[in-house]
Amino acid sequence: MKNKKNNKKNNIKLISKKTDFKKSFNWKVLKIMGEFIKGFEFISEIKGKSATIFGGTRFSSKDFIYKEAEKLGKSLSKQGYIIVTGGGQGVMEAANKGAYEAGGKSIGINISLPREQVLNKYVNKSENFHYFFIRKTMLSMASSIYIFFPGGFGTLDEFFEMLVLVQTKKLSRPVIIIAVGKEYWQPLFDWFLKDFYKKYHTINKEDLEIFKIVDTAEEAISLLKSLT
């Protein structure tokens, strides 16, 4: 009898959760729609050529990667590019700082997180998002140049997002994807070549050309000049 009563209680809890979800579902859809509208309005205001720079939040101003991202942001800004980042710390801060110190425009497309994602002080203009997938959509549509420095899961998530969008031709414009830091990125490319392409045949040979690997900010600038 006790088991039957417990099962009955559990069923009631499950039903109530489903009911609560149904009640909140419409509001969640409206919230998502509102964020998309806000996001598209924000990126529509980015006028002129722009470059989006990605990378980990945990690098400090003492790190080589931070300094290279700052150098790249400054150099691109001097060439008239608007610098777009996720607006956070680490590589994002470095790129925004470089643009800010060069007197250029610096934009942050930020995400609400309990830690690690405070808007850096070098951003001229920013927008904040609750949903990762909406923020990624905005980042994927903000530029025609995407430059990736080393980072964690978030950076790789954004990297693979761009690779898939280019591979599946979901973008309405040609884009350039550059990965900076051979020590970090080359093992990943070797994995693509050895296992994805040669062993399992899950990608085509041309997919290996979607992105280019360089070692420094200076090399990234030189490559961009040859491609644009």
What is the number of other CB atoms lying within 10 angstroms of the CB of residue 29? 10
Find out if CATH 3.40.50.450 is the number for domain 48-227.
yes
* pLDDT of amino acid 22: 56
- CA–CA dist 161, 155 (Å, integer): 10
- CA–CA dist 210, 167 (Å, integer): 7
* pLDDT of amino acid 113: 76
- CA–CA dist 31, 161 (Å, integer): 23
- Helical residues (DSSP H) of the chain, grouped into ranges: 2-43, 64-78, 91-101, 132-141, 153-167, 182-191, 217-227
* pLDDT of amino acid 14: 46
* pLDDT of amino acid 205: 96
CB burial class (10 A; 0-12, 13-18, 19+) of residue 177? Answer: middle
- CA–CA dist 130, 198 (Å, integer): 40
The residue extents of the domains of the chain are: 1-44, 48-227
Q: What is the mean pLDDT of each run of 10 residues along the chain (228 residues)?
A: 49 50 76 95 94 97 98 97 96 98 95 76 94 94 96 97 97 95 98 98 97 98 95
* Backbone φ and ψ of 127, nearest 5°: -140, 145
What is the number of other CB atoms lying within 10 angstroms of the CB of residue 169? 7
